[in-house]
Amino acid sequence: MDFSGFQIAFQAVAPVFVLIGIGLVIRARHLLTDEELKRVNGMVFQIFFFIMLFYSTYTTNIRQTFQPRLIAFALCSLAVIYIVPFLLVPRFEPSDKRRGAMIQAIYRSNFVLLGIPLIANLFGEENIAVTTMMVAVVVPIYNVLGVMTLEIFRGGKVAPLTLMRNVFKNPMIQGAIVGALFLIIGIPVPEIVMKPLRQVTAATSPIALIILGASFHLGSTADHMKQLVTCVVSRLIIIPGVVLSSAALLGFRGVEFATLIGIFASPCAVAGFAMAQQMDSDAELAGNCVVFTTALSCLTLFGWIVLFHTLGVL
């Protein structure tokens, strides 16, 4: 039996969940309070992610990383996995609060936090330019759809200017825009500055994963077990099964295919829980979706990587 697929999958998945495990130890030992975790997470989100996206964009070879076919496929797939639950969830879920939380949990993945380090483990940090390019494409859409969905299901009005303002307030988008401007205009950044930026970029994913583990809080599942199971199965099995199979048939391979794994097979986005809290949705259901999909994704991501490596796609 060829165990190379298992070895590659283990090498990609294990480091991610070891870092989350370190965070769980920090939580178990009460080394950081919830308020301190919130502050550190804010620092990582506001500063570290900005620097990571700036550095990745600024050091990118646009001709090599701009993949219109990959962008088109990702956008079409994202449209389908948003529209289908938007139409189906209200048919069996009577609560508006849960409708918004479920739809967001199903379509929105933790691409940046888990997808990027996963692909870096597969192909190396030097080969994730295509992946970081997709962040600038996918993350704004996640934000727009998230605000729009939760606003609709709490009975509010969707204001286009508010949506755009929320998108451009995202540090990842700001970092990518500033990096692109520096790259296009040709503004030189001296090595004395680039070196610490490179160091912060390398540290961003590990710190974010540790904070994710330390922030885990399991809420009660008694009142929403059916909804939770629906979201977990949709996020980890149905969506990656359909999208990744389609991508393989269309000829996507290597780092492009791995990027699609990062987008469509990653667990629910932590940002979805924060937004559910802020926008009067079912935050407990949203939080449990993050916890359960993240925990179970160590198995499902491993399985998808083994499967598609065996099929010669990865």
CATH number at residue 21: 1.20.1530.20
Domain range for 123: 4-310
Question: Helices (DSSP H) in 29-95: which residue ranges?
Answer: 34-43, 49-58, 62-65, 68-92
Give me the half-sphere count of Cα atoms (radius 13 Å) on the Cβ side of residue 131: 29
**pTM of the full structure:** 0.80
In this structure, the number of other CB atoms found within 10 A of the CB of residue 129 comes to 18
Strand partners, 268: 109
Residue 185's SS3 state is: helix
Residue 1: predicted pLDDT? 39
| Contact indicator for 82, 145 with CB cutoff of 8 Å | yes
User: What is the predicted pLDDT for the residue at 151?
Assistant: 83
Per-residue confidence in pLDDT tens, the chain, 314 aa: 344 557 767 777 788 788 888 988 999 999 988 888 888 878 887 898 889 888 877 887 666 667 889 999 999 999 999 999 999 999 999 998 899 999 999 999 988 778 888 888 888 776 777 887 787 788 888 888 888 888 888 766 667 777 677 667 778 778 888 988 998 888 999 999 999 999 998 888 788 888 878 877 766 777 889 999 999 999 999 999 999 999 999 999 988 999 999 999 999 987 787 778 777 788 889 888 988 898 898 899 989 999 998 888 88
* CB of 224 closer than 8 Å to CB of 282: yes
32 backbone dihedrals φ, ψ, rounded to 5°: -135, 135
pLDDT tens readout for residues 218-262: 667 778 899 999 999 999 999 999 999 999 999 999 889 999 999
Specify which residues 109 forms β-bridges with. Answer: 268
Q: How many domains are contained in the chain? A: 1
C-alpha Rg value of the chain to the nearest Å: 19
Contact 147, 275 (CB under 8 A): yes
Length of the chain: 314
Which residue type sits at 108?
R
196, two tokens = 């610490």
